[in-house]
Amino acid sequence: MKTKDFTYHLPEELIAQVPLKDRTKSRLLRVNRTAETYTDHTFKELKDFLNKGDVLVLNDSAVIPARLYGIKKDTGAMLEVLLLKPLGLKKYQALVKKARKVDVGTVITIGDGRLEMTCSKVLEEGIREFDLAYEGDFYALLDDLGEMPLPPYIHEKLEEKDRYQTVYAREKGSSAAPTAGLHFTLEFLDELAQKGIIITAITLHVGLGTFRPVKVDDVENTQNA
C-alpha cells in the first residue's frame, strides 16, 4: 500500500474555512463496503445508521491554546512555539519555527514575561525541550497568551476558541482537535442515548503527527514510519 494511492486533488475552495452554526449540519459521507456505494448525508443522519446497543467511543481529549508567540530574550527576535506534550512539572516539549536560532540555554519570553521558556535540550526536526517559569495556573495562562493551533489549510482566524473543541472535551492535553467529533452537539448525543446507543469515552491526546506528512512511500513499512 503506497502513499500515492491516497493522493487526490482537493480544490481549496471546497475546504470550509469557518464552522457552521449548527454542528450537526456538516456533511457526512456514508460508505457501503459490501455494495461499494457512496452516499452523501448530513451528520445529523448518523442517528439513522446506528442501532440500539451500538457502542460509540468518543475521544474526550481537550485542545489547549498551544500556539505561542514570543521573543528571544537576548536578541528580541520573534519566535513561534507549538507546545506538544508535558514532560513533567514545568517542563514541556515543543516545536519551534526557525528552530536553528534556539540552542540550549536560549530563553523565550511570552506575554511581557508572564511565561519564560528556557531551552534545555535540542531534538531533531525543530523539536526542543523547555523548562517553564510562570506564576499561577498554567492552563489559565495559556487561555490568555495562546492561540488554538488550527490545521494549515484553515486560513481564517478562529473567532471562538470553543468551536475548535468537541462539546465533550474533558482532559486537557491535545495540540490539535480530534476533528471527527467536532460535529456532535450535546443535544444530538442525548438523542443517540435515548435511542439506546451506548456512549463511552477514551482519552487520546492528538500531537505533532497530525500536522506532519507521512514520510514513507510504503505505509505498511512501520519500522520507518
Question: How do 91-96 and 107-110 pair as beta strands?
Answer: unpaired
CB neighbours of 110 closer than 8 A, spacing ≥ 6? 68, 69, 70, 81, 116, 117, 145
Please tell me whether residues 74 and 141 are part of one structural domain.
yes
Asked if the structure places residue 176 within a domain, the reply is yes
Asked if the structure places residue 107 within a domain, the reply is yes
Asked if the structure places residue 73 within a domain, the reply is yes
pLDDT digits (tens, 9 = 90+) for 126-146: 999 999 999 999 999 999 999
Question: Please, which residues bridge with residue 133 across strands?
Answer: 116
Find the length of the chain. 225
Please tell me whether residues 98 and 203 are part of one structural domain.
no
Beta carbons of 93 and 127 less than 8 angstroms apart: yes
Domain that holds residue 81: 67-145
Please tell me whether residues 124 and 80 are part of one structural domain.
yes
Asked if the structure places residue 87 within a domain, the reply is yes
25, three cell numbers: 449540519
Please tell me whether residues 97 and 157 are part of one structural domain.
no
Q: pLDDT value at position 225?
A: 46
HEC profile for the chain? CEHHHHCCCCCHHHCCCCCCCCHHHCEEEEEECCCCEEEEEEHHHHHHHCCCCCEEEEECEEECCCEEEEEECCCCCEEEEEEEEEEECCEEEEEECCHHHCCCCCEEEECCCCEEEEEEEECCCCEEEEEEEECCCHHHHHHHHCECCCCCCCCCCCCCHHHHCCCCCCEEEECCCCHHHHHCCHHHHHHHHHCCCEEEEECCCCCHHHCCCCCCCECCCCCCC
**Domain closes at, from 145, 165, 192:** 145
Please tell me whether residues 59 and 71 are part of one structural domain.
no
Asked if the structure places residue 19 within a domain, the reply is no
Q: pLDDT value at position 223?
A: 55
Please tell me whether residues 141 and 171 are part of one structural domain.
no
Question: pLDDT below 50 — which residues of the chain?
Answer: 224-225
Please tell me whether residues 74 and 104 are part of one structural domain.
yes
Q: pLDDT value at position 8?
A: 84
- CATH code of the domain in which 79 resides: 2.40.10.240
pTM for the model stands at: 0.80
Please tell me whether residues 81 and 134 are part of one structural domain.
yes
Q: Specify the amino acid at residue 117.
A: M
**Domain closes at, from 101, 117, 145:** 145
Q: pLDDT value at position 195?
A: 97
Share the mean pLDDT of the chain: 90
Asked if the structure places residue 222 within a domain, the reply is no
**Domain closes at, from 117, 145, 173:** 145
